[in-house]
Amino acid sequence: MKPRLIWHTTKRIMIGLCCMFFLGCSENGSNAQSSPASSPTILASTEKPLPAELKEGETKFNTFCSQCHGPQGQGTNQGPPLVHKIYEPNHHADMAFQRAVAQGVRAHHWKFGNMPKIEGMVPEDVSQVIAYIRWLQRQAGIF
């Protein structure tokens, strides 16, 4: 290979690597493993009033979940925000919410410790809570 050609190829590889680096970083924005509680919370917009059909989900969320996951799912020092990119439907589908409530969660994304299983809820209650959380996530522009 001529020196010019080698330089050309090297340049292309370097540009390629840069692109991969940037894409890699922005891809899922939140490798929560390496950035636990300190990652900034995305604030849900409070401008839009909560649709009436989600009120019950909100009440159940406030009864069973907000103690750790915070008002409007913004997180507390006991648990992570659920209005967060890693909990969007593609990463944590509705089943993950049902499972979390039914079986608890072993700490793996954050450093808050385990989530205990939540007594006193049937799957329909959890579905209402999920609908409420999905609405909050949409308001925050997460998906």
Give the footprint of ligand HEC on this chain (CB under 6 A): 64-65, 67-69, 78-80, 92, 96-97, 100-101, 105, 107-110, 112-113, 115-116, 118, 121, 129
Measured CA to CA, the distance from residue 11 to residue 91 in angstroms comes to 36
Distance CA 86, CA 42 (A): 12
Q: Which is nearer to ligand HEC, 42 or 129 (CB)?
A: 129
CB of 135 to ligand HEC, least distance (A): 14
At its nearest, how many Å lie between ligand HEC and the CB of residue 60?
7
Residue (11 or 117) nearer to ligand HEC, CB: 117
- In whole angstroms, how far apart are CA 103 and each of 43, 79, 115, 116, 136? 28, 16, 9, 8, 24
